[in-house]
Chain A
């Protein structure tokens, strides 16, 4: 019980740190388009990595179906982003936000790999709900307003409904798992 609570606290702390770093970007010099492209690719790759752990560790069809969908959809976004930066001749540029996301994802991956099998499904889905909420906020409030290139802005706007659909889907799975 105590371990469960600790995991919950770690998830919440990690996500709060993640959201804060994305929101702090509003106070720091605006991200350039190559930096935004990097954040977009990293944020999508992180959820693909979480999904791969879920497929490996979960036996719950609801969870593995959701994880497979995350892998498919976020891979499709990365494919679009790569096609766009190639077309624009832009190279995604590593930056403080993408580095911070990577650092936090390493912690989350460590936790997803070490949590007991019994607690895995709930830990994974709770993290998916919180991660999508954080990413939706960042895309809406940081990335879209700061993107200069109209095609990059269009891509970010096209991604938003999918993130919202994923959040709805994750909440449905969360309800079923907690029953």
Chain B
């Protein structure tokens, strides 16, 4: 860190000093991790180059296993992206005051991971060179086209929803002069934090946080519908829309928790990510793991009870057949581990939520595997049910590249924007009286002014 930057940083108030520090102070360990991740990304590009050059034959895909790792990762990444926007929007709308320090890191996950999700179906295309045909020859009856539209809308709205609440912080960085003055002058877009500007900002945020909720729900519903609209056993199910939304939120909260634990550790954010945050988010994870179990149980019980032969082949392949290991690992990761850890206050700690978060993230990846693969290898016409699927190293490399790419981008982003919203934290200290008044209003029905007076 240069001396003048250190002086400027030291002269800032405490919140700015702690939260802007990562922007100007980068450890050698950061560069090491970034270099490793960058190498994995390059490796992923090499794999994709080979696939484009020689054809999708380089994957493990076949007939009838037409879809594999790429489509699994597509659902997985878009699911993770539900972390930010949806959670932060719900918390903002419900005026949950404890949201203030976690919304930024969550919204950043959304915007950065969504691109890695959106490219997966393109990687999966046999003819990526003809991608624009979805515009030139668009057929609106295709759920894939609904998806193109909803993801486009989602990405746009989430980016705005990340950017607008960033404005006051960008202005703070611009005014402090600690980093890239021209860049931040441009990004801050003339924001001066006047009373009028602040009022407008809060109005826009209020509108956006309502608007992004239905958009976010539509995105994962439609991804579920891509599967549900076909006649295939265990895909053709009305539960898929809501089931996918619940799964997405589940993996999204898990991803936020993992990110928060890591950020807290590496940037020393103990004052901002407190026990109460892990406690509350841990409870949300607990609720979602129960909801996830409820949906999974309902879906599988209905299939078992109906006992249609074509569905039963897929069902038993999951429960006790070739896919039993991924299936029961999924149940462990998505339900048992988070349930056991998050049901107890003693384990709703950073260490506990970290383990539960990792378990859910892995479990939710496997959930998509268990949806895509066992059905694909068991087509409805039994004589074709001979499928097998073993992903090739090309597919694994591209997946690793995407995971590394997202992590790298997130790391780099923490060097450009404060990962905790500075102005919202400050605002929290100012609104304590207002919140106390609001809480008093909640209970006014029980203690009427008259009674209080006489007491």
A and B: real partners? Answer: no
Chain A residues near B (Cβ < 8 Å): none
Chain B residues near A (Cβ < 8 Å): none
